[in-house]
């Protein structure tokens, strides 16, 4: 029989308020609070907190506070990563972000979803994860939302304020709600 954490990590319906998962969220929130308290006063200590929290991070990983996540261990960022102020990454399922990515202020990346059945959804008791994968050389404009299950290719620009509900390939500029291709992004 699988634990609720095993169910969560395998993309199955799981109990959000499971004791183990609640403890892990509390630990991550303590780490995030410590990171946010540091602000930009001690970049070395801030980086150390992120490296310990994330599943993996490349060199030159920088995030302006405030930052929020659920667990941290499901976040994987490549080299030369930057996220501006007020970034939220709900990492129930893995969030993979490639090298050389820029995230604007107030960007939200969600890998968590909830069941369509209202009885299962009540009180936020049940959840289900869908991974988010973002390619290399990505730029996500401020205030954008990346929804669960989305994959974006390499060299993609997401216009500010966009809501990305489906996947897109390489070399495009997308924008809108829902986001759509507005032009190619040639290298």
Q: Which two tokens stand for residue 29?
A: 């929130």
Is 123 designated active site?
no
- Burial letters 88-110, b for 16+ CB under 10 A, else e: bbbbbbbbbbbbbbbbbebbbbb
Q: Which two tokens stand for residue 167?
A: 């996947």
Q: Which two tokens stand for residue 21?
A: 């998962």
- DSSP reduced 3-state for 27: helix
Please state, in angstroms and rounded to a whole number, the distance separating the CA atoms of residues 109 and 114: 15
Query: Which residue among 96, 100, 114, 123 is the active-site one?
Result: 114
DSSP string, 130-178: --EEE-SS-EE-TT-EE-TT-EE-SS-EE-TT-EE-S-B-SSEEEEETT
Contacts of 107 (CB under 8 A, 6+ apart): 83, 84, 87, 88, 140, 141, 142, 143, 144, 145, 146
- Active site (catalytic) residues: 114
């Amino acid at each position: 029989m699988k634990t609720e954490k095993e169910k969560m990590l395998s993309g199955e319906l799981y109990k959000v308020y499971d004791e183990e998962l609640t403890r892990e969220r509390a630990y991550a929130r303590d780490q995030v609070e410590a990171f946010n308290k540091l602000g930009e006063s001690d970049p070395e200590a801030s980086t150390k907190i992120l490296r310990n929290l994330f599943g993996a991070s490349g060199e030159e990983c920088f995030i302006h506070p405030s930052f929020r996540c659920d667990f941290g261990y499901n976040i994987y960022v490549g080299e030369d990563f930057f996220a501006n102020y007020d970034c939220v990454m709900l990492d129930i399922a893995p969030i993979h972000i490639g090298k050389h990515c820029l995230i604007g202020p107030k960007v939200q990346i969600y890998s968590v979803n909830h069941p369509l059945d209202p009885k299962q959804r009540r009180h936020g008791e049940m959840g289900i994860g869908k991974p988010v994968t973002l390619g290399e050389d990505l730029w996500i404009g401020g205030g954008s939302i990346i929804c669960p299950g989305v994959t974006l290719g390499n060299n993609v620009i997401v216009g500010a304020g966009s809501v990305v509900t489906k996947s897109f390939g390489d070399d495009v500029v997308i924008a809108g709600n829902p986001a759509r291709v507005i032009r190619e992004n040639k290298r």
